[in-house]
Amino acid sequence: MARQLHARRLEGVDKNIWVEFTQLTADYKAVNVGQGFPDFSPPSFIQEAFCSAITGGASMHQYTRGFGHPALVKILAKFFGRIVGRDIDPMEDFQITVGAYQALFCTFQALIDEGDEVIIVEPFFDCYQPMVKMAGGTPSSNLYTLSSADWVLSPEELASNLNPRTKAIVINTPNNPLGKVYQRDELQMIADFCIKHDIICISDEVYEWLTYDGAQHIKIASLPGMWERTVTIGSAGKSFSATGWKVGWAMGPGNIIKHLKTIHQNSVYHCATAAQEAVAMGFQREYDTFGTEDSYFKQLPAQLHKKRLRLAECLRSVGLEPVMPQGGYFMITDISSLQVDLNDPSTKDEPYDFRIVKWLIKEKGLATIPVSGFYSPEHRGNVQNYIRFCFVKVIWFVCI
């Protein structure tokens, strides 16, 4: 064919860190402590719920309501209504999506136009930037001040990213890859900023149950003045350790969610019925056991807390400096002290952390993820000495 085939919206978004590294991991049969998924099973009650949905009536295998299976949106509205302290409308205030990933996609596609700016707090889950670009927007990155011991968001730096085209800010708490859990005063600072400048807040809270050492997850949508301008994103995959189910949601005020619905109905339209039914059953159980020892949302962080400590010990034992996460699935570690003879010519033009990660995969059979992949291209050069581990694994880490 003579003409250009691809649409221009794909320009600059064709590379993808997961595609690249999962392929390499598979090729070298490396132990995967990089990608964020558990290597243990989901809790039996959720697997049973799925089986029960599958063997349920014929309707479980046919299309359900496009914007979300009624049983699921109803229980989510109840569940989160109790947490946020407001009446949430199941039909108006939710869009069920194919994973939180698709919820992010719908949000950007629905709200971001050519030329709009979106503030993305770095380091960020890598998809935010290409999704903003594909929607025609400009990601405006805000670097954490690395000089202080704690990773904090500076209000001055936040304000410096503001301009007349700023439409939204994306936050992720607990944060991937850092594991930072935003405190109330930080969220209040962001909330004040959003309200003052009439900006939408996109809050990716997929790791909301996974907080350690007494850190509390706070929903920015519950702060005064924020419900009406926040899209909160959640994930059944992360909540129930079943990432392969790909069920997520966007929750927010109906007048914003309706635009996500338009994107959804013109892109995938429906999500799998039986999976939604199973997640609904899971949430009903969690609603009934919330706060008790029987709640999976309590058991999982307790389980992961120990794995987190074990990984940190292991990394320190080989002279590495982990950054202890307050929440989430991941731990990053400074690898500056690693003395490695990198003689792989295929990676010579890549950032140092990419080179180390590829060396680890090829030479040590261990797959991790380079943290500079979670920074904008302009800032990648500043942060080449961290790699990310996922500790939601039962396997023993190969101590290098």
Partner 1 sequence: RHRNKNSKCNLYMASVTHKNAKRIEGLDKNVWITFTSVAADPTIVNLGQGYPDIPPPSYVKEGLVQAVMVDRLNQYTRGFGHPTLVKALSQVYGKVCGRQIDPFKEILVTVGGYGSLFCSIQGLIEEGDEVIIIEPFFDCYVPMVKMAGAKPVFIPLRLSDRKTDISSADWFLDQDELASKFNSKTKAIIINTPNNPIGKVFTRNELQAIADLCIKHDTLCLSDEVYEWLTYKGHDHVKIATLPGMWDRTITVGSAGKTFSVTGWKLGWSIGPEHLVKHLQTVMQNSLYACPTPLQEAVAQGLLRDYELMGQPDCYFSSLAEELQGKRDRIATILKQAGMNPVIPEGGYFMIADVTALNQHLSHVEDDEPYDYKFIKWMTKEKKLAAIPVTAFCGEESIKHFEKYIRFCFIKQDSTLDAAEAILKNWNKA
Task: For CA atoms 243, 51, 63, 89, give the dihedral sign.
Answer: negative
Counting contacts by CB under 8 A, is residue 378 touching partner 1? no
Residues 61-100 that bind partner 1 (CB under 8 A): 61-66, 97-99
Q: Which amino acid is at 317?
A: S
Minimal distance, residue 321 CB to partner 1, in Å? 29
Supply φ then ψ for residue 312, to 5 degrees: -60, -40
Smaller CB separation from partner 1, 279 or 323: 279
Smaller CB separation from partner 1, 76 or 199: 199
Q: Are 170 and 111 in contact (CB under 8 A)?
A: no
Instruction: Out of 22, 183, 303, 347, point to the residue binding partner 1 (CB under 8 A).
Output: 22
Contacts of 256 (CB under 8 A, 6+ apart): 110, 111, 200, 229, 231
Minimal distance, residue 263 CB to partner 1, in Å? 6
Smaller CB separation from partner 1, 50 or 144: 50
Minimal distance, residue 30 CB to partner 1, in Å? 15
Counting contacts by CB under 8 A, is residue 224 touching partner 1? no
Minimal distance, residue 114 CB to partner 1, in Å? 8
Supply φ then ψ for residue 272, to 5 degrees: -60, 130
Helix then strand then coil, in percent of the chain rounded to 5, is 45, 15, 40
In this structure, the number of other CB atoms found within 10 A of the CB of residue 140 comes to 18
Site mask for partner 1 (CB under 8 A), range 127-166, x = bound? x--xx--xx----------------------------xx-
In this structure, the number of other CB atoms found within 10 A of the CB of residue 214 comes to 6
Counting contacts by CB under 8 A, is residue 9 touching partner 1? yes
Residues 326-365 that bind partner 1 (CB under 8 A): none
Residues 234-273 that bind partner 1 (CB under 8 A): 241-247, 255-256, 258-259, 261-263, 265-273
Minimal distance, residue 338 CB to partner 1, in Å? 28
Distance (Å, whole) CA 29 – CA 285: 38
Counting contacts by CB under 8 A, is residue 47 touching partner 1? yes
Residues 165-204 that bind partner 1 (CB under 8 A): 165, 167, 195-200
Report CA-CA distances (Å) from 200 to 170, 225, 226, 228: 9, 11, 9, 9
Smaller CB separation from partner 1, 226 or 335: 226
Segment contacting partner 1 by CB under 8 A, of 102-110, 140-148, 337-345, 378-386: 102-110
Instruction: Out of 274, 279, 300, 369, point to the residue binding partner 1 (CB under 8 A).
Output: 274
- Strands annotated E in the chain: 31-32, 94-97, 117-121, 138-142, 166-172, 200-204, 230-235, 248-251, 321-323, 330-334, 366-367, 369-370, 386-390
